[in-house]
Amino acid sequence: MALNPDTITLCWPNRVERATLSGGAWLDSLPLTLAQDPTLAVRCKSQNADPASTWFDITLDKPRPIQCLAIAAHSFSAPARYRVRIYGDTDRQFLLWDSAWQTVWPQLFATSELEWEYDNYWLGTIAEEDRALYTPLLTVFADEVQLAQQVRVEIDDAGNPEGAVRFGRVFLADAWQPATNVSYGIQHGFDNATEFAEAGDRTEYADVKRQRRTATFSLDWLSEEEAYQRLYSLQRVLGTHGELVYAFNLAARPENFARTFLARQQQLDPLAQPYAFTHTHSLKLLEIL
């Protein structure tokens, strides 16, 4: 089923842990298999930035429905590009979907935010010196769900300042959208854990922690099938520790990059049935860093 760009999207479960990752050239001390570790701070690293070294294949344990790929905690530079191809077989003879070459970093700035003298005025793209200000997450959504056996990912970042590429997690999953979109009142914010110590003269010293994005929302018009085949299953499979990709809107706009992140559930709220044929469910998501 084709995804509606204006509808909230949830992607799970991540199939990468039961898959085999291969290809490219990676450091022995920081191998590609680290991308299967759920700890994002543990990152694999290529031997160099040559495109011949920065590609990899994901071979699934069996054909799986796939519509979303994400690469988290990556070091891809501002002009980096990617290409994702989804295959129905391990010999890569049956091509199901091809993203073609796309830029890793989408438009992050509206024209109104930039001075016309800036190099990125017309495109709103990120500058290399600003890259550290954003949580790096590459997300790719196929037009239709694909019954995939293998996925090839190519990264073209030969000019990376580090002379190599790094990333902490690969995410590969199906994508789901409710028939009726999220209700009004959705909240996007930050979880701030910064602590302050106060000296005798009342001077404050901050122990600054990374902020994590949050999303709190309600799905109030679910069918019985959506409620129990999808969201009840989501709770059972992921609990509060499992990862999912959350996207408020799939349209290519600066606001939507800020509302797309790798997350986990903070709590498991029960499903409710306020009407005979209608179910409701609330979710509270916390970004995984």
Question: Which structural domains are found in the chain, ordered by start?
Answer: 12-176 (2.60.120.260), 187-287 (no CATH)
Q: Band the pLDDT of 124: cuts 50, 70, 90.
A: low
The tens digit of pLDDT for each residue in 240-255 reads: 999 999 999 999 888 8
pLDDT of residue 121: 45
The tens digit of pLDDT for each residue in 125-137 reads: 676 777 777 899 9
The tens digit of pLDDT for each residue in 212-231 reads: 999 999 999 999 999 999 99
| pLDDT at residue 210 greater than cutoff 80 | yes
What is the average pLDDT score of the chain?
A: 93
Q: For residues 90 and 149, is the Cβ–Cβ distance under 8 A?
A: yes
The four Cα atoms 230, 151, 260, 182 give a dihedral, to 10 degrees, of -30
pLDDT of residue 63: 97
Percent of all residues in the chain with a pLDDT value above 70, rounded to a whole number = 93
Burial of 199 (0-12, 13-18, 19+ CB in 10 A): exposed
